[in-house]
Amino acid sequence: MKDGIFQIWVFLASSPLLWLTLTLTIYAGSVTLYRKAGSTPFLLPVLTSVLALVSILLLTDTPYPVYFDGAKFIHFMVGPATVALAIPLYGQLQQLKKIWRPVCIALIAGSVTAIVSTTLIAWALGGSLETIVSLAPRSATMPIAMALADHFGGQASLAAVAVALTGISGTIIAHPLLKLFKVQHPAARGFALGVTAHAIGTARALQVHEKVGAFAALGMGLNGILTAMLMPLLPLLLAFLGVLS
């Protein structure tokens, strides 16, 4: 019986449609659970979906490349989905023109703080040069962070994990922190989510309000660009810390 089930699984696993269907089904179930639980951030669909999929891959001993080959259509759609975020942002163009100065200040503060704090913490905990470089761009969206880590001698896979953890944890703690500091303006809330929690935070922001989502998308995009511009300065900080001789 077990051999028969195993053979069926091997046959199904060889079909790319299986992993695409499974991913979409699990995510749909996660969204339903998230909504029934009152949209608690501890049940973010991204978090529960990842946990479920990783568990299935481990239980079935399925290599990640096999899964990716089946679900790469979703990966392809990340590009169009990111570009589509410009649509709600365009609707807030007039508002953006009025507050571009505080937006720029918040962007610089957020990007610099993310890179410097991450570097200092990783250095203080004894992280290697490769580890520090991999973690430094963690607040940028995943494609940018992975490319930066790889370009500067880090590990793209470690950068991807750091980005995912940053997005999930940032989205979970954002609401209580913003409430604690009495940040009520939709643009400020959205921009903070986008800068600190990138795509995952932006997805959450879009569920709250279109204006919050628009400024989250702006924060995510601008933070990715500024992070790419700041990363070449990382060796200066590393030299100051003695990591580079």
Instruction: Single out the residue of 82, 173, 41, 97 nearest to residue 192, CA to CA.
Output: 173
In the predicted model, what is the mean pLDDT of the chain?
Answer: 85
Domain stop point among 52, 84, 116: 84
CA–CA distance, 51 with 44 (Å, rounded to integer)? 11
What is the gyration radius of the CA atoms in the chain, in angstroms?
20
Handedness of CA 161, 164, 168, 169 (dihedral sign): positive
Domain stop point among 33, 65, 84: 84
Return the pLDDT at 245.
63
Provide the number of structural domains found in the chain: 2
Based on the fold, state whether residues 170 and 221 are members of the same structural domain: yes
Based on the fold, state whether residues 71 and 177 are members of the same structural domain: no
Domain stop point among 49, 84, 119: 84
Return the pLDDT at 8.
52
This prediction's pTM: 0.80
Based on the fold, state whether residues 106 and 223 are members of the same structural domain: yes
Return the pLDDT at 87.
76
Range of the domain at 21: 2-84
pLDDT tens per residue, range 41-65: 788 888 899 889 889 888 888 887 8
Based on the fold, state whether residues 72 and 124 are members of the same structural domain: no
Based on the fold, state whether residues 10 and 131 are members of the same structural domain: no
Return the pLDDT at 16.
65
Based on the fold, state whether residues 106 and 79 are members of the same structural domain: no
Return the pLDDT at 9.
54
Instruction: Single out the residue of 81, 109, 107 nearest to residue 203, CA to CA.
Output: 81
pLDDT along the chain (245 residues), means of 10: 53 68 89 86 84 89 81 75 73 82 92 94 92 93 88 90 89 88 89 89 83 88 92 91 77
Based on the fold, state whether residues 70 and 91 are members of the same structural domain: no
